[in-house]
Homo-oligomer: A and B are copies of this chain.
């Protein structure tokens, strides 16, 4: 069984009943948060994207790139990654998420786990490249009442056997 099926950040046993994320509106709030976060990334709006992370947030997005910590480093990594990869190869990327699991933790953080897929379109090319299939595990926290990503870990299916 591929290693993607094991959870690297085990969920602590809740000491008390946790709220139902569907009933509390949290589930929709997380979906909305991700829509805006990834629209920033796909438009290469580096600072607005980095602002969706906690002040000491960790972004570990690719086996080809080091994990980075903090908004300034995250913005720099987004800019540099796009420069390295796409300066000579203009693309429009679209990150899609699906099968979102949301689990509130007793400490107030929120663990999420979901599938991700990148669609990459090149100029005049009707069919995007649809790859790779990934699993993403986030720890979300609140800052000033707003959701922020404290930690993001991405695994790619093709490299997980």
Q: Which residues of A contact B (CB under 8 A)?
A: 1-2, 4-5, 20-29, 31-32, 34-36, 38-39, 42-45, 90, 92, 94-102, 113-115, 117, 119, 121-133, 157-161
The minimal Cβ–Cβ distance linking A99 to chain B, given in whole angstroms, is 4
Give every chain B residue within 8 A of A29 (Cβ-Cβ). 20, 22-23, 27
Find the B residue at minimum CB distance from A159. Answer: B124
Q: How many copies does the complex hold?
A: 3
Verify A115–B133 contact, CB threshold 8 A: no
Q: A119-B133, A123-B158 are in contact. Are A101 and B36 (CB under 8 A)?
A: yes
Give every chain B residue within 8 A of A90 (Cβ-Cβ). 2, 161
Verify A133–B117 contact, CB threshold 8 A: no
